Structure 1
């Protein structure tokens, strides 16, 4: 199923065809710059951005706008100089029309060719109308301010895009690969699976892989947002093929674009450049602009009806002279003023600019938000469902308690337990041994013999000539093992009530100890849940397959509002659906693999530790790239801020239109003031949106 989803993603994904990602060398990028400035680009699968190139490169539109302004100012100034013919000013205004209207006309024609009418068309009609009336000065002013507003708008939006595009520069263009015993520098696109690359100190890692030689720390902040470098060490079996391995320990795995510390690392490539985590991240972020938020879909619907309505109103106003006593020129001038006032430029850009800025800021913080819909929905949540294992807890059992009994010392008890568990294949054995060695690093362990697992019960072995049993209560309740004393049974029951998995240790006929393990809560879990509560999350439900007693014990430690235990994967789906009905909007936080069905049913699916996980990146609406629960409050806080700014922008843009239309119809405002206010509001909403790029998590629990 996973392979199928990978193959179908480009064609059958949520947003259709995925764009090709350029992972080129710096030289290639420079060459492309020479040929890429072809004006207004709307390739299939790309965003609806405007790349305006020309004789002045990427800044051509801005230069044209400034030339328009210079010609306008010169013509206006000369009109006050006696002895200079008014024709000179007129010629300058007409030339200003060309520079101010070039890109406006270009976009209007392209839009009309597709069967639509947009803001550029309205502005062009207004400017032509002013020229027909002989108001060349006001027409040139309109085109100057509109083209300047557009140019500055594109400049501001490009700033947000560059914050995302910077991801493409994370991975170095070349890698030092070992081929035929020699070190050769090759482009990262030429790396093959299984090849060994050498990463020098303080340099970027060029490919996803596993460490096979060398130890050191790696700064993973560019990918996962982790502020502290992560220690890396070699895998146990360097010859193994790890390209299809689903669970690689963090201390072995490295990602393209991360930064090596002070040691030389030899890394085995497990992902081609086009499939690396950074490449997949870039592809998905590029898809963001095509996924419209609910507010953006509303504004699109609004514009679809509003623009034709404006054209009808303007047409009617042109014939006002038939109803009221005024010349046609005055009616026509008023109509053109209304046309300018009613053009929803600010409305069109208000939501996309905020969404793009919010997503860019999230990406810098190690959070991938796949578009406007999840960005807005995240900020409206009142309930969050969490998977327990690996999300609210560490995901692996730890030795929590060692209780010696009947006169034996703790060190002796640990020696016996470790000697047996070292030879056991029980899933908990590794955790017991690791925990015991952490408690006592100098522990000398005797040799255990005749080790025998007892299915579902425990293990038995001979240690120093004595028979040892280690297991759960059921092991000792079997006939022939002897009954468990009441005080020991009560102690075990108390531990299990608190969520611990307990095991009894018996030597011959005497119980010599109790050990317990637990999948311990993440250190940050309690703090994170408090922050979420501060943000207004009313319900925080923990979903787990563990029994209800264990679930409630963990819930008590970390502070979730409810704990639902004994759940199969399909039960988690039902639980999310139940929450969705009562709370309207609910998020599901999990690992993106076994929690994928529940994520799909939630309003917003959030994957933990998505870096390197193909399934998590594909199934989740939001991916926390690092295995860091503390980035969740940051993402929700950013979403709340984004929604607030989107609402502000809507009020600004709609408010300006609502005020200007009556003023221009009544004749109080002419084209000049209407243009100034209109374009000022457009820049205001863009600048307001760009504030998201500087967002800082200020949640205090």
Structure 2
């Protein structure tokens, strides 16, 4: 994690390549700058008193030079050692030039204002940096490990995978892991941005990997335990936790350049040499114009100060850093300026269905007995058989059957055999039981279904239900139906996205078209693409891009990776639990719901607007100051005042993003 005194971003602004600390600690530069201003002010006032020798004022100006120029000289020296010279060097040159001309007061003013702007800019940018640094402070330094009957406190970097840690009430959880004992609610806001605590309870199976765990069993380092003691099995080392990855990715993100930044870099590449040519020409103006060399020199130095692209260099990075920091606070990881700018320009969104718009957890909705079979007989049979399977559909059947029957079947089933994508068979009450879809019976077993069952099957499938036929021995028992439920927030989020100007929302799914249509109708989406393979999703994304220019793709980052890679900006949901999602997506919504998406889009638009304002301000000030200084309308004092003022204005404008709340006029 970058500390306050270290570089914020070495390549984007020369002002941040050195340590700003000193004898007065972190704020030394600011204090030096204030002393410089005091010396300058006293010297200036004394110069009006005739009885006081002028050398006293000059002495005060020299000390103003020392305090105002200390960090600037240090910076210029460090840069020159590396074989370059930048704005600090130019400012120093301008101040020395003013002293040679005997204009000590103006030289001191230049160094005072430059160092003040420098110090305030550093102070302001640190606020954005600290928002990100706050993430690093979430992890406790130690954890309590259970060793037999003893409890031992160990540093978190010595925690081993497989150890059990004890999390006391209201303390911060030290590692990513699964709950093995205790029930408590955990505040996950620091990682996922969710405001409501999530209830946690022990997992039945402690052999699962971290990203296979249900949210109720999974805990993240940096989250805050509620009122009860939890025991957690450590599943990731300290450096591999979601929080550690998040900090690392945020640090990488703030280094990434945005399209606007690439534009300003290109602009500066041609702009700086052009200005240097103008300055050299102005140095020799006394050969053409009837004026002393001192005047030409002064004008050239003033133009040098006026044309330094300070505000331009900091305009975009400061806004990107603030935007990324604000998003991280809301549980949204934006990987740099590119995605931050692009997301706000998107008018078309493609959304994966399963696990994104729906929970990806089917629920048992239909139990249809055949002839004189009872409902209880069907449920008892499917419960006995499906308990042996770990398939997601089997889990949903077991959960549904248990909630109705309330108790286990008296007899156990055994000898489970799975038919991939078709169903299962097992032995129950000395009979072979088959549970599966139409193709299990018609293709695998070469049986034709009774007309009544076949009709009911068609009806159910038409409504988007996953239907399974049950046969025990020679007898058909009936049909059960499961439906994947839309997430409760999906409808509201889709409406919000439409209200903030998203013109087209397309749903992509591998499920059949009927299932897709039913879910889409429930949550308010008109564009529906069903029965898609991963490569079909890529084709649809490319078609949408041709029609709509920029397209965002939202998925869970696993089976959607190819489509997400082809989109203009990819968004993964529920990324806190998935390494794949964190890696593949441009933007990761840490919580496992879509609620943060409208906020992310509006933050992106706000960031883009602030970047534009900053660019216009910095370009306008430069365009105004260069001619003004060439034609002697403004001296060094005025130029420095306006120039450094614009740099500080740009930074503080960018910092408004840190406090950004959703626009009240927009219903989010």
TM-score of the aligned structures, taking structure 2 as reference length = 0.91
In structure 2, what is the equivalent of residue 14 of structure 1?
Answer: none
Deviation digits for residues 380-414 of structure 1 (CA, Å, limit 9, x no counterpart): 22222222211121112112334567687766764
Secondary structure in structure 2 of the residue aligned to 1:267: strand
Deviation digits for residues 340-370 of structure 1 (CA, Å, limit 9, x no counterpart): 2222211111111100000000000001111
Q: Distance in 2 between matches of 1:129 and 1:454?
A: 86
Contact 1:543 1:565 in 2 (8 A): yes
Q: How does 1:33-182 map to 2 (within 5 A)?
A: 50-182=18-150
In structure 2, what is the equivalent of residue 184 of structure 1?
Answer: 152
Cα distance 1:160–1:50, how it changes in 2: closer, same or farther (>3 A)?
A: farther
1:201 aligned onto 2:169: yes
Aligned partner of 1:582 among 538, 542, 547 = 547
In structure 1, what is the equivalent of residue 575 of structure 2?
Answer: 610
Contact 1:202 1:262 in 2 (8 A): yes
Q: How does 1:254-273 map to 2 (within 5 A)?
A: 254-273=219-238
Contact 2:9 2:255 in 1 (8 A): no
Q: Distance in 2 between matches of 1:646 and 1:692?
A: 11
Q: Distance in 1 between matches of 2:448 and 2:431?
A: 15
Shift in Å, 1:86: 1.0
Contact 2:385 2:416 in 1 (8 A): no
RMSD (Å) for aligned C-alpha atoms? 3.1
Secondary structure in structure 2 of the residue aligned to 1:177: strand
Shift in Å, 1:489: 4.7
Deviation digits for residues 651-684 of structure 1 (CA, Å, limit 9, x no counterpart): 1110111112222222222222211111111111
Q: Distance in 2 between matches of 1:433 and 1:460?
A: 15
Shift in Å, 1:94: 1.3
TM-score of the aligned structures, taking structure 1 as reference length = 0.87
In structure 2, what is the equivalent of residue 214 of structure 1?
Answer: 182
In structure 2, what is the equivalent of residue 230 of structure 1?
Answer: 198
Shift in Å, 1:84: 0.3
Shift in Å, 1:145: 0.9
Contact 1:424 1:451 in 2 (8 A): no
In structure 1, what is the equivalent of residue 618 of structure 2?
Answer: 653
Cα distance 1:484–1:463, how it changes in 2: closer, same or farther (>3 A)?
A: farther
Cα distance 1:362–1:141, how it changes in 2: closer, same or farther (>3 A)?
A: same
Q: Distance in 1 between matches of 2:60 and 2:254?
A: 40
In structure 1, what is the equivalent of residue 354 of structure 2?
Answer: 389
In structure 1, what is the equivalent of residue 329 of structure 2?
Answer: 364
Q: Give structure 1 stretches of 5+ with no counterpart.
A: 1-20, 23-32
Cα distance 1:614–1:429, how it changes in 2: closer, same or farther (>3 A)?
A: closer
Q: Distance in 2 between matches of 1:507 and 1:175?
A: 54
Q: Distance in 1 between matches of 2:625 and 2:408?
A: 85
Q: How does 1:591-602 map to 2 (within 5 A)?
A: 591-602=556-567
Q: How does 1:101-500 map to 2 (within 5 A)?
A: 101-238=69-206, 240=207, 242=208, 246-403=211-368, 414=379, 417-418=382-383, 421-422=386-387, 427-438=392-403, 440=404, 442=406, 445=409, 447=411, 455=419, 471-474=436-439, 483-485=450-452, 489-500=454-465
Q: Distance in 2 between matches of 1:449 and 1:196?
A: 35
Equivalent residue pairs, number = 662
Moved more, 589-598 or 255-264: 589-598
Shift in Å, 1:601: 2.3
Q: Distance in 2 between matches of 1:463 and 1:180?
A: 42
Q: Distance in 2 between matches of 1:617 and 1:68?
A: 48
Shift in Å, 1:562: 2.0
In structure 2, what is the equivalent of residue 700 of structure 1?
Answer: 667
Moved more, 689-698 or 475-484: 475-484
Q: Distance in 1 between matches of 2:578 and 2:389?
A: 31
Cα distance 1:287–1:421, how it changes in 2: closer, same or farther (>3 A)?
A: closer
Q: Distance in 1 between matches of 2:371 and 2:104?
A: 103
Secondary structure in structure 1 of the residue aligned to 2:360: coil
Q: Distance in 2 between matches of 1:278 and 1:459?
A: 41
Contact 2:425 2:432 in 1 (8 A): yes
